[in-house]
Structure 1
Amino acid sequence: MAAPLIPLSQQIPTGNSLYESYYKQVDPAYTGRVGASEAALFLKKSGLSDIILGKIWDLADPEGKGFLDKQGFYVALRLVACAQSGHEVTLSNLNLSMPPPKFHDTSSPLMVTPPSAEAHWAVRVEEKAKFDGIFESLLPINGLLSGDKVKPVLMNSKLPLDVLGRVWDLSDIDKDGHLDRDEFAVAMHLVYRALEKEPVPSALPPSLIPPSKRKKTVFPGAVPVLPASPPPKDSLRSTPSHGSVSSLNSTGSLSPKHSLKQTQPTVNWVVPVADKMRFDEIFLKTDLDLDGYVSGQEVKEIFMHSGLTQNLLAHIWALADTRQTGKLSKDQFALAMYFIQQKVSKGIDPPQVLSPDMVPPSERGTPGPDSSGSLGSGEFTGVKELDDISQEIAQLQREKYSLEQDIREKEEAIRQKTSEVQELQNDLDRETSSLQELEAQKQDAQDRLDEMDQQKAKLRDMLSDVRQKCQDETQMISSLKTQIQSQESDLKSQEDDLNRAKSELNRLQQEETQLEQSIQAGRVQLETIIKSLKSTQDEINQARSKLSQLHESRQEAHRSLEQYDQVLDGAHGASLTDLADLSEGVSLAERGGFGAMVKVE
């Protein structure tokens, strides 16, 4: 994934003389482009690991152009300074204050002092003994194990094929397609580390190089000091050389479905790096069976989509299928796509024979299916004479292969000429039919497009109406919420009033009960009083009756008194007997009256 870009004008110092001097070393002609090899050679002098340098390259070249412009190189320098200062290698740290980057032997960009190997070997003694036992059990021949014998051991680890391919390439230090005892120990050590979730390094660390190999080793990033040595093959994305992996592929095909990136060959390949990466992505999507190759059936649709004739596509296939296996590897597929792209975009016809710069890098060391296991063009011994001989052998092999391929192409051309006219006629018929079908499809597509435009307009109107309704509904909901809140407030107030009324009702009911009890008691008292009143009234009536009798007795007594007085006044001559009788009658009358009064009382 491409890293997010940060405005370089805010992060990279302008007019920095140190940065300018560094840039002048990698781009003395000021072309504005720093290739991967030049940048790798220079940045490796920082002493950082290949993993960190690979991350720096990804951040400096986020678009995957395969080269750095001046600002991109400045970003790389700044990121190197970040790593050397102990900061995390990210674009966000570009504006931190830190010392400038430091490089060893920057006065000569073509030379670098190899890092000194550590005195100890990372493979422990007990590990070495165990690995030697496994080595002996595989029955080495002359102290060497071929890829065919090593493959089952590596496959038993269940590690991904790309990891196993990298392990093989790192452990095959002398690039002879075989592993000796020490190289096998390195391979097993890397496998065990990978099983413990440790990443497999892109380049073999000095501590892992067996002591027996250290004197011969050219360290990553270093240029051999030999008069006729070719330029280094390293790049910032250090990957195992394909030459060693091919030796394993020839015996057991341990090559992963994602092929390892090719190192920079002696002769540049005509396929640009950016196009190669794009073609590799297409290859991965096309390789449905994940066997590392694509058949004619798998690429037929892609090739026919270019619009080129079948004869021309067949010729391109023959050029790319350098081993005549009937299928294409990732590099061969990239070469075929490059020829198709050149013809479609620029009108450049594919050649009749592949030139040396057109041969895929993975095919240059082993140009034909019958070639021997001699030293490939991409491998060097460090001795000028042997290197020259190996180069001459590789060149002769390429010429032989080109001649054989030319003969095959001419035979194929003769065979194809007989059916070419008929094929062209068939092609014309098919193209005419296809054109008619395309016209019909075009009209149908236009009709569908018009219908979809109408539907789109209707949907827009419907969407507008729905939005308006949603807005109205939203307002209504807001109003309802306000009303609900108001009603909830009123309801709460009414509930409070109801509770108070209930309390008052309970109090009144209690008072009513008390009053009813009081009334009941009063009624009892009233009945008692009424009875008493009746009794009193009876007594009063009796008293009145007696009083009336007394009045009558009194009147009668008054009359008697008056008679008595009259007797006294008129009957002076009466006898005492009459007077005594009269007095007795008065006394009896008075006693009868007072007795009635006493009873009344």
Structure 2
Amino acid sequence: MPKLEQFEIKKYWQIFSGLKPIDNKVNHDQVLPILYNSKLDSSVLNKIWFLADIDDDDNLDFEEFVICMRLIFDMVNKNISSVPDELPDWLVPGSKVNLIKERRKREQMENADFPPKKEIKVDWYMSPEDLNQYEKIYMGCVKLTDGTITFNELSTNLSTKFFNISKTDMNKVWCLINPQNLPSIDKDPTFYFIHCLRQRNDLGAEIPANLPISLAEVCNKKQVSYDLGSSQPGAKRKDQIREVDNLNDNVSKSNADGSSNNVFVNDNDVKQKYASLTDVQIANMREQLEGLLNYKKNEKSQGVSNTSKSFNINSITDDLDNIEQQVEVLENYLNNKKHELQALQAEIN
């Protein structure tokens, strides 16, 4: 790793000055755009920040800022394959040598006094305070028209809140709470996704390999299929629907000819005409015809047909407006990021 050159220090000073330091120091929020634009993993950035913040005051003076920038550039340019556990001597400013020695002694004492930490398991219970916090995060995310959220939207939102979470952690928890590998998840799995990552970030909890049985049912939800030919419970077979339609036509013809005053024919007649059907199928058909009759009566008496059509049109219009608003939000977000990138490139140049 080549040592610092004067032109580098001059370049870092220009960047540092552009961040508008207070009392010759910048805080984490001021440096955050530079950290994220490096595209380095959050765990790498956290380690770099820890090494650079020698006096542990959560701020960087110019000397500490130089250390931070040099390590970031070396990682981005692949001059080093990983962040060192300790700063090399040539990168430690003379005014910080004693602080480095004190930090090393303190770490040695802490390691000697405390036994190895036990593995922390995720506690899946969510308190009312947790739920309120997760509800705010959920409402702040851009959702699809069905109310679900994608992985990219969640990971982008949470990366600004959980700095100790890596992309690998995000992917593991996503696979854990989304065993169906759906492109997006609804509210309940979203809460458990955030809950697990928060404990990973705050407590270093280990990500479990499997969900508890009580949560598996929540996260294993299957999307409702509207295919009448599907085999899922409650779905009607197409041939059975055809039989119902045929039976309905026969009943209508019978009423038109005046040959019957009853809306439904006798069960025995139905069984003789549809001998291949089981009693269960016939009962289902009868139930559907009764429902159809009640619907037609209500439609005739209340005139809901036009209202229903109007409602459907309004619903579609609302969905289109919602999608348009989401597109505008994303475009504004993209434009802001472009401006930030241009500003950073101008400062670096």
* TM-score, length of structure 1 as denominator length: 0.22
Question: Relative contact order (C-alpha < 8 Å, sep 6+): which is higher?
Answer: 2
* TM-score, length of structure 2 as denominator length: 0.36
